[in-house]
Amino acid sequence: MFETIVVATDGSGSARRAVDTALDLAARFDAAVECLYVVDEEEVSSSPERLQDEMRTALEERGQEAVATVRAAADREVRTEIRAGRPASVIDGYAREVNADVVAMGTRGRHGENRFLVGSVAERVVRTCPVPVLTVRQLAADENTEAPVAAPGGE
């Protein structure tokens, strides 16, 4: 069912949960994993001109850390890519380029507090991506990650 899974990461908590989910899917379906980090060029260009090179470098370093985290968590080879541009457009294009069967990503990224339900990048990817998009939300501290266990006898 899944041969190629793209996991888009920005290193945030929401993305880490999406990474875990994508790696689980890859293990279940013996799928290839493609990990993508996008340096947001709008974030760079909106910073003061004298700081843009430093901002770009910092985002590239964050990207290296984010993809290294994915690679370290995987039980298989993970192809990683760091690209620059508008995140939603780059994710869409990359999914087409690698002929992905699904894109996994968190619902909220580093700027997630500014959005009500789904982060703006995730929302755009869901609306525009040519392949299915699996969005994984970050659990609140009081939410259990385990499925409830039914009592014997179905009670």
Per the domain annotation, does 55 fall within a domain?
A: yes
Rounded to the nearest 10°, the torsion over CA 34, 120, 93, 41 is -100
pTM: 0.82
- What pLDDT digit, counting tens, does each position of 20-61 carry? 999 999 999 999 999 999 999 999 999 999 999 999 999 999
Q: Provide the domain limits for residue 62.
A: 4-138
Distance of CA 79 to the CA centre of its chain: 14
pLDDT of residue 68: 97
Closest listed residue to residue 63, CA positions, set 45, 90, 98: 90
**Domain tally for the chain?**
1
- Domain of 29, CATH number, reads 3.40.50.620
Could you give phi then psi for residue 135, rounded to 5 degrees? Answer: -100, 135
